[in-house]
Amino acid sequence: MFGSAVLLLALGLVYGWSIFVSPLEAEFGWTRARTSLAFSLCVSMFCLGGIVTGLAAKKYSPGAVVAVCPALVGLVFFGVSKLTTLGRLYFL
């Protein structure tokens, strides 16, 4: 149950981009044209991730997927907290 709640919170985080983009641009001197690709990649991977997790839930179990996904989101958050380049932002 806790894992499901964390997973649902993580699903909504993609829409928090609008809060973080301006400080990132100010901190690193990036332009909106360059940072907008990061959001496009994020939304694309969000959709692709839905397909992958659906297939994984069929093959394994929904509980296993719900247990793994929040851990992966946490790893990505850790990676983003250490980013210094636009390329890393695109990758994560």
User: From first to last of its 92 residues, what are the pLDDT tens digits of the chain?
Assistant: 776 677 677 777 778 888 888 998 999 999 999 999 988 998 898 889 889 988 998 999 888 887 887 788 788 888 888 888 888 888 87
pLDDT of residue 29: 92
Task: Look up the pTM and report it.
Answer: 0.74
pLDDT of residue 3: 65
Count of domains forming the chain: 1
Q: Is the dihedral of CA 84, 42, 75, 11 positive or negative?
A: positive
| Domain residue limits at 67 | 2-91
Exposed/middle/buried for residue 40 (C-beta within 10 Å: 0-12, 13-18, 19+): exposed
